[in-house]
Amino acid sequence: MVSLVLRRFPGGMSGHLSRFGPPIILLLLLLAAPLVLSDFRVNLLGKILAFAILALSLDLIWGYAGMLSLGHGVFFGLGGYAFAMFLKLEAAKGELPDFMFWSGLKELPIFWAPFQYAWFAIPMVVILPSLLAGALGFLVFRSRITGVYFALISQALALMVSILFIGQQPYTGGTNGLTNLTSVFGHSLYSVETQKALYYITIAFLVGSYLLCLGVVSSPFGRLLVAIRDDENRVRFSGYDPAIFKTAVYALSAALAGIGGALFAPQVGIVSPTMMGIVPSIEVAVWVAVGGRGTLIGAIIGAIIVNYAKSLLSEAFPDFWTYFLGALFIGAVLIFPRGIIGLLRREGWQWPQWMSVARRRLNAVGSATASVWRGIR
Amino acid sequence: MTDPAAWAVQIFNGLSMGSIFLLVALGLALSFGLMNIINLAHGEFIMIGAYTTYSLQQLAIVLTGTPAADYSYFISIPVAFLVAGAAGFIIERLLIRHLYGRSLDTLLATWGVGLFLQQLARTIFGAPNVQVVSPSWLTATVDITTTLVLPVKRIFIIALVMLCLGGIFWYMFRSNWGRRTRAVMQNRPMASSLGVATNQVDSLTFALGSGLAGVAGCALALLGPIGPSMGTFYIVDAFIVVILGGLGQIPGTILAALLIGMFNSIFEFSTTAVVGKVLVFALVILFLQWKPRGLMQLRGR
């Protein structure tokens, strides 16, 4: 239907308007959202925008460099934990955090101590994820592990990190994670004003991340990434070392995901290992695929639409949601591989072969019936 | 800890766990070697196999009035193979062949299938785990010394896997379809131009791999509870086995499965289950630095 409308107005969405129109419209909508939505929904949208940063970070490496990471929740989680450790210590007011006390620890572990200072915890939000991604990426890309192999290794990473966090109850809070985060820099997390401020801060970071990614993909570095995606060997023969560029963009993407996690933690008041596991990590890919991979703005739109739909549908029909999500995974690659943005740009709507065959047969049946009908009349 | 018998038991457990990984990983390795795709719903075939075992046992209880575990379990092994294989065949025909050459997209689409199957199991059997009663003579143990006690269950699983392995070797190296499969693995366009129906080979191999996962589900039903998401629990280990084993190589997969099974159980014994898994993962990543294409690889030109 959208493409029909567009066909009526040729050139209407072309040029600068089609490039910058959707992001600006989206930004205005998001800025205006608190005026019309309830506080609960604004808080929900704030969480979703933190997810949008995560989706953006995945689109940067999947859409542009061709690396499908099925473990991006790990970096989101690490960023979340880094900031939540600071918040937890703020909530504990100089005493030992509750879960450590329950687990029988007598004093704060050494690696926790520096997290009581914001100047340490906040940089760690980006440093921890990018260090892990840099180390893993260096090892993996250096040995020329690509495609499906990389996807599986990143998925294994999600499993390992999440079970590691679950297993270390005294240091990470185990399955529950870090709970009862009460305030951020002295502002209560339960107050509407703080949550609204966090909402606008998240928008600011989302815009910043979007512009950063846009800058990266339109730079020579970004063009090299696309070249690596399309033919890695040719890039190698041209004298570049793809491993270095891939590691760099993987680490950058992990840092962005970490920022998303750090914005997510205070809006929810809890971080837990479940957000780092296999299941949430692979869901990020479907957000990006639904919005349209390799478009950046598509990742944001996809994250917003899928997550909003999730919270609406799973409130009403929890069982139905899983079927829907399964269908979304299949549909996103089989029926509309270019996503919503591809649909808007009128390049995407591909019928799979069996469907187009079925359509042709239906048309044939239709015209046959029509001629028979005419004959009868 | 230092007792050699305890270590022997661990190695034995590792062997039986490794042989289950092998059953799961073989299907993955075959379809990866053939079609260059990884099926993320492969774990759900384990689940299908396990629930088939459970359903047959429930049916036997309804029919005979007694928990006739001794008979129903044996019938359930071939039935689980057929049911999971049929499910794999349908999924290959309906979905996977339309994604030929798009490996990463196949990952996502098959994950969707997996979600679907899990929810279906939840709808049919309910979310709580169910349990299969083991056949009575499988619950015995073989006491070699007073400390070295081997459960018959695990010996049975190893024997079952050996049997399946024998079947696979017969299929791959002695049957006509196996010869065609190997031809397509080596050179698809050439095999196709010489008259091999590559799409039939794809479907059949995929169904075979799925069936093996179903048998693995049968074996796992003896060891633990059956739940809708039990597949995801084992599948990552199977992926690591495939990565370590090398591109679609059956001997590499066998070796990798046994190694992973052993290391898992030895590390778990000497540290904790969690640290053990993480150590194995780290070792595999480091190993790939040395041999990026896994333990065995197809010689390319």
Cβ atoms of residues B89 and A328 within 8 Å: no
Helix axes A39-59, A192-218, angle to 10 degrees: 20
Q: Which residues of B touch A68 (CB under 8 A)?
A: 104, 107
Ranges B143-157, B176-190, B195-209: which has the least confidence? B143-157
A269 in a domain, yes or no?
Answer: yes
pLDDT classification of A204: cutoffs 50, 70, 90: very high
Cα–Cα distance for residue pair B152/B117, rounded to 1 Å: 32
- For B122, the token pair is 């939840």
Chain B nearest-CA distance from A254, in A, is: 19
pLDDT value of residue A12:
44
- Inter-chain CB proximity A163 and B278 less than 8 Å: yes
For A33-53, what is the mean pLDDT? 88
Q: Is the dihedral of CA B249, B250, B255, B260 positive or negative?
A: positive
- Nearest chain A residue to B284 by CA: give it: A153
Q: DSSP of B23-54, one letter per residue?
A: HHHHHHHHHHHHHS---TTHHHHHHHHHHHHH
Least CB–CB distance from A286: residue in B98, B103, B108: B108
Q: Does B124 touch chain A (CB under 8 A)?
A: no
SS3 content of chain B, % helix, strand, coil (to 5): 75, 5, 20
Instruction: Specify the pLDDT at position A11.
Output: 43
Within 200-259 of B, beta carbons closer than 8 Å to A belong to: 232, 236, 239-240, 242-243
Residue B248 backbone class (left: φ over 0; alpha: ψ -120 to 50; beta: rest) = left
B286 contacts on A by Cβ (under 8 Å): 139
Residue A5 located in a structural domain: no
User: Is the per-residue pLDDT at B237 higher than 60?
Assistant: yes
Cα–Cα distance measured from residue A354 to residue B196, given in angstroms and rounded to the nearest whole number: 23
Residue A231 counted as domain residue: yes
Min CA distance, B135 vs chain A (Å)?
A: 33
Rounded Cα distance between A142 and A150, Å, is 12
Interface check for B112 against chain A (CB to CB < 8 A): the answer is yes
Q: How far is A163 from chain B (nearest CA, A)?
A: 6
CB contact (8 A) between residue A163 and residue B99: no
* Chain A residues lying within 8 Å of B274, measured CB to CB: 163-164, 166-167
Residue A177 neighbours by CB distance under 10 Å? 23
Mutate to test the interface with A, among B100, B104, B267, B274 (most CBs of A within 10 A): B104
Q: Is A187 helix (H, G, I), strand (E, B) or coil?
A: strand
Q: Which of A348-362, B126-140, B170-184, B223-237 has the lowest mean pLDDT?
A: A348-362
A361 domain residue, yes or no:
no
Instruction: Return the closest-CA partner of residue A49 out of A214, A218, A268, A252.
Output: A268
- B239, A325: Cβ pair inside 8 Å? no
Query: Of A136, A151, A164, which has the smallest distance from its Cβ to B107's Cβ?
Result: A151
B111–A327 C-beta distance less than 8 A = no
pLDDT at A346: 60
**ipTM of this predicted complex?**
0.84
Q: Calculate mean pLDDT across residues A274-292.
A: 89
Q: Suggest the residue from A132, A333, A335 to mutate for an interface test with chain B (most B CBs closer than 10 A).
A: A333
Which of B115, B117, B124 to mutate against chain A (most A CBs within 10 Å)? B115
Q: Which residues from A are below 8 Å from B240, CB to CB?
A: 152, 156
Please tell me the distance in Å from A72's CA to the nearest CA on chain B. Answer: 15
Task: Report yes or no on A359 lying in a domain.
Answer: no
Q: Give the nearest chain B residue to A148 (CA atoms).
A: B104
Most confident of A23-32, B130-139, B210-219, B227-236: B210-219
pLDDT tens, position by position, A287-315? 999 998 888 899 999 999 999 888 888 87
DSSP conformational letter for B104: H
CB atoms within 10 A of CB A91: 20
| pLDDT tens, residue by residue, A253-273 | 999 999 999 999 999 888 988
Which residues from A are below 8 Å from B111, CB to CB? 282, 329
B281 touches A: beta carbon within 8 Å:
yes
Q: Which of A143, A149, A330 sits opposite B112 (nearest CB)?
A: A330
Nearest CA in chain A to B239: A152
pLDDT of residue A375: 61
Terminal-to-terminal C-alpha distance of chain A? 33
Which one is predicted more confidently, B135 or A57?
A57
Beta strands A187-188 and A183-184 are: antiparallel
Asked if residue A306 is part of any domain, the answer here is yes
Query: Which of A38-52, A92-106, B145-159 has the largest mean confidence?
Result: A38-52
A217 vs A186: which has the higher pLDDT: A217
Tell me what pLDDT residue A22 has.
75
Confidence band for B297, pLDDT divided at 50, 70 and 90: low
Per-residue model confidence (pLDDT) at position B61:
82
Mean pLDDT of A227-236: 90
Which residue in A163, A289, A330 is closest to B95 by CB distance?
A330
In chain A, residues with a C-beta closer than 8 Å to the C-beta of B244 are: none
Would you say residue A228 lies in a domain? yes
Contacts of B95 in chain A (CB under 8 A): 330, 334
* Lowest mean per-residue pLDDT among A60-64, A109-113, A285-289, B291-295: B291-295
Closest to B58 (Cα-Cα) out of B126, B151, B113: B126
Q: Find the range with the poorest average confidence among A95-104, A216-225, A289-298.
A: A95-104
Q: Going by C-beta distance under 8 Å and a sequence separation of 6 or more, which residues neighbour residue A366? A: none
Instruction: Check A159 against B104: CB less than 8 A apart.
Output: no
Q: Which residues of B touch A151 (CB under 8 A)?
A: 38, 104, 107
Asked if A19 contacts A26 with a C-beta cutoff of 8 angstroms, the reply is no
Confidence at residue A39, expressed as pLDDT on a 0 to 100 scale: 83
How far apart (Å, rounded) are the C-alpha atoms in residues A49 and A202? 7
Report which of B35, B14, B64, B43 is spatially closest to residue B259, judged by C-alpha positions: B14
Work out the number of other CB atoms within 10 angstroms of the CB of residue A317: 12
Percentage with pLDDT > 90 across chain A: 34
Q: Does B137 lie at the interface with A, CB-CB under 8 angstroms?
A: no
pLDDT at residue A270, as a whole number: 87
pLDDT at site A2: 45
Averaged confidence pLDDT in chain A: 84
Contacts (Cβ under 8 Å, ≥6 apart) of B15: B158, B258, B261, B262
Identity of the residue in A147, A285, A352 whose CB atom sits nearest the CB atom of B108 = A285
Q: How many independent structural domains does chain A possess?
A: 1
Range of the domain at A165: 37-346
When pLDDT is averaged across residues B230-258 and rounded to a whole number, the result is 83
Contact B181, B34 (CB under 8 A): yes
Whether B114 and chain A come into contact, CB under 8 Å, resolves to yes
Please name the amino acid found at residue B197: A
In a domain, A71, yes or no: yes
Q: Find chain A residues with C-beta within 8 A of B36's C-beta.
A: 148
